[in-house]
Amino acid sequence: MDWITNVETIAEWIRSWGPVAIVVSILLNILISITGVLPSIFLSGANAVVFGLERGFFVSLAGEVIGAALAFMLYRWGSTKIKKIQKWKESKWLSNINNSSSMRQMTGIVLLRINPLIPSGLVNFGAALTRISLLRFMIATLIGKTPSMVFETIVGHDLVFLSENKSRLIISLLLGSLVFFLFWSKRKKEEDKV
């Protein structure tokens, strides 16, 4: 049960910060977003343990959106400094994205955020290469990250408090597995066509 131990350890560390625990948790989530490779599920679960399900969800979601926005701005700034990346910006697929409507760009980000197979860091980096505005990126990120934050918050909380929440945990895991399977099977079909 290393997973539960990790969530409890992070929860204790956050709790140790006392009145500034929310700020510390959001800063930690920002760090996770900027690195782009660390999973946030442990932190989301810890937030639910420390702050309760509802507040923990909102703390995690705020950290995810702020972290994604900062990563987006950092990647966008970095993309202007690296010549190889500047060449990518001239590619046909980026041109197609940039020439599409704002609503279509936002819908693309929402769908990428919902897909559990695509790392958040990759979405942040890819969006930073486009001309989408920061505000539209943040709105799309908020919409797209909400389902995964609900899932991570509930699962993290219920694993720690398993004896009280077995039924809800089983339902959450089954629904999460179904979403994962749907995205995986769609991806597999697309790979088979190629």
Q: What is the pLDDT of residues 150-161, one digit of tens each?
A: 888 877 777 766
Kindly report whether the global pTM for this prediction surpasses the value 0.85: no
Range of the domain at 152: 2-193
Long-range own/partner contacts, residues 22-27 (CB < 8 A, 24 or more apart): 22/51, 22/59, 25/50, 25/59, 25/60, 25/63, 26/59, 26/62, 26/63, 26/66, 27/63
Q: What is the pLDDT of residues 102-131, one digit of tens each?
A: 898 899 999 888 876 788 888 998 899 888
- Count of structural domains within the chain: 1
Q: What is the pLDDT of residues 71-88, one digit of tens each?
A: 999 988 987 777 666 666
Q: Are residues 172 and 190 in contact, defined by beta-carbon separation less than 8 angstroms?
A: no
* Sign of the torsion angle spanned by Cα atoms 8, 13, 14, 15: positive
